[in-house]
Copies of this chain bind each other. A is one copy, B any other.
């Protein structure tokens, strides 16, 4: 893609704090993958598996580690961490404009709200009594922020986000469209005939630098708060139950379902569509693979999985019949071993 911003390679080297091998005056208009880039694009090589694509790329410049400079047909920007440098570069080519400060005339803002002058409030947004919003933040069209909630500085709520009452967001929090923060946790006491609602009196506390995807839900706590610590990144369609605590810098991939009162450590990665049952603890630096269910606490860092690999359905049907016979298979094997020992 070619964007309507451009930089010389000299400027980029300075902005990204990288060493340039090549033409300082070369103009860069956008970013591209090694395979898809055109002249005027900046690309990157992070995974050595793509080295074949390096020699044939049309990119005008590539961010790479020093050892690949020779292979690069164009200009090189040398980085110890090309992928991280590329992430920084991506920020330079953002073109969708930040909304202008000010409250849109159609927004409904309670007079008791404390909103910094630099804040942008989009059309039809609704802010209830006592809401505070810090400098540089943006509340998109159709968002709702409930009574007494606090939103830090430089936050960005995309469209149609719902923040219930009494929720706290620190600075630099991004929430994508349609997400819901602070709906009631799923708590009921069964009285023998029906479910009696346990009113959810806690809140949600979201740390700085957290990003939350689209259509994700994070429930308020029953008594104490649900806590998302700083730096956590949460993808789309994730459900986080009441009274969970997600440790700092953990990453929760899309469609993950985390039941109530789960404590996840720091620097964990929950793979896509994974899950965790309620009232368990997951240690720091645990990685859970896609669609795996954590069915009891994990006390040691490491990589964990559940489930089975996929196979042709015809084969799979035979296999799951055998799966259901596993206990019998194991017992019969034991019998044979005993018999064999005697012979």
Contacts and interface: CB of A to CB of B under 8 A. Distances in A.
A51 to B, nearest CB: 17
Most buried by B among A166, A209, A214, A320: A214
Interface in A96-110: 96-97, 104, 106, 108
A166 B96 CA distance: 9
Contacts of A180: 176-178, 214-215, 236
Given A178-B215, A189-B86, A323-B326, A194 B249 contact: yes
Contacts of A307: 293, 306-308, 320
A67 to B, nearest CB: 19
B251 A195 contact: yes
Interface stretch (A6-14, A19-27, A70-78, A311-319): A311-319
Nearest to A91: B199
B1 A189 contact: no
A311 B322 contact: no
A340 to B, nearest CB: 6
Given A108-B104, A307-B306, A329-B322, A239 B219 contact: no
A330 B329 contact: yes
A178 B195 contact: no
Chain copies in the assembly? Answer: 3
Contacts of A32: 223
A197 B87 contact: yes
B140 A93 contact: no
A164 B239 CA distance: 22
A87 B189 contact: yes
A230 to B, nearest CB: 9
Given A104-B108, A319-B324, A319-B327, A254 B231 contact: no
B295 A201 contact: no
Contacts of A65: none
A283 interface: no
B329 A329 contact: yes
B142 A198 contact: no
A95 to B, nearest CB: 8
A255 interface: yes
3 nearest A-B residue pairs (beta carbon) = A162-B177, A322-B326, A255-B257
Interface of A: 1, 3, 30-33, 36, 81, 83-84, 86-88, 90-91, 93-97, 104, 106, 108, 122-124, 126, 140-142, 144, 146-147, 158-160, 162, 164-166, 176-180, 183-184, 186-191, 193-202, 209, 211, 213-217, 219, 222-224, 231, 233, 235-237, 239, 241, 249, 251, 253-255, 257, 259, 271-273, 275, 277-278, 287-296, 298, 302-327, 329-330, 332-333, 336-337, 339-340, 343
